[in-house]
Structure 1
Amino acid sequence: MIKYTCLHHISLTVTDLEKAKNFYGKTLCLNEITRPDFGFPGAWYEIEGQQLHLIVDPSSQTIRQDKRLSSREGHFALRVKNYHDTLTWLKKNEVEILEKPNSKSGFAQIFCADPDGNLIELNVEQKDL
């Protein structure tokens, strides 16, 4: 049996590091942290004790070709403090979103995508709306 202590990090491939850093750092307001020099470009972000790793790989087979927003495709989810503040911020920054405030999951969800189409869910408990 495997016993886990936490989710440590998620890695995503991106094609344009500056666009990705602008999105994750400025639009999603994530805190960039020091990354070792692996000999290829990328960036790391800290999210409440866990990490998001961006890896530049234009030939990646994991980059979505169809950039339409979907809640059914692979994504990662970040819990936010305030649904409405997050929604307002994303709209102000002209981020395309898919709203699901009454999802059967029990979470009020907002889906968006980074410049390469990686899907991100931002959510809160519905009771906290």
Structure 2
Amino acid sequence: MIEFERLHHVSIAVRDLEKARQFYSELLQFQEIERPPFKSKGIWYAVGNQQLHLLEHTQGETLRNGQIDSVDGHFAIWVKSYKGTIEWLEKAGIPYEARPQSVAGFAQIYILDVDNNIIEFDSAYDS
């Protein structure tokens, strides 16, 4: 049996690494971390104790074209405040889909990055 310790990272494909950097580093203010000198282009971020890896991939089946579909592949980040996250997204001009009374038992907010990758923010509902 495999003895799991923790989720280390999630990797997503992006079409244009610099546009993705503007979104994740500048707009969302994720913390960039050092990335080994792979032959591929990419950026790594620290997200709590885990990592998000962006990999530039200009073609392929993993690139999405659609809108928010919570059944499609996505990653989720637990945030401290539902209300504070909504306010911040509105101030930043980032469109979102909010599900404050989700059947999951916690509030959910969905956004799309510049490549239509789905990001979910979860929290306790704090009206």
- Give the TM-score, by structure 1 length: 0.92
- Whole-angstrom distance in 2 between the partners of 1:13 and 1:45: 14
Code of the aligned partner of 1:22: Q
Aligned position for 2:99: 100
Q: How far 1:3 moved relative to its partner?
A: 2.2
- Residue 89 of structure 1: SS of its match in structure 2? helix
Tell me the CA shift for residue 22 of structure 1: 1.2
CA contact (8 A) 2:82 2:124 kept: no
1:47-86 alignment, distance < 5 Å:
47-66=47-66, 68-86=67-85
Partner Cα distance (1:54, 1:81) in 2: 24
Cα displacement (A) at 1:60: 2.4
Q: Please tell me the residue identity of whatever aligns with 2:81.
A: N
Give me the CA root mean square deviation: 1.2
1:12 is matched with: 12
Amino acid at match of 1:43: I
Separation in 1, partners of 2:68, 2:19: 18
AA aligned to 1:14 is: V
> 2:36 corresponds to which letter in structure 1?
P
TM-score by length of 2: 0.94
Aligned to 2:24: 24
Aligned residues: 127
Q: Residue 120 of structure 2 corresponds to which residue in structure 1?
A: 121
* Unaligned ranges ≥5, structure 1: none
Q: Which stretches in structure 2 are left out of the alignment for 5+ residues?
A: none
Contact 1:27 1:90 in 2 (8 A): no
CA contact (8 A) 1:78 1:122 kept: yes
- Matched with 1:39 is 39
Q: CA deviation at 1:98?
A: 0.5
Secondary structure of 2:76's counterpart equals strand
- 3-state SS of paired residue (1:44): strand
| % identical equivalent positions | 43
Following TM superposition, by how much is the alpha carbon of 1:89 offset from its aligned partner in structure 2, in angstroms?
1.1
Deviations, residues 57-97 of structure 1 (Å, cap 9, x unaligned): 1012101122x112221111000111111111111111110
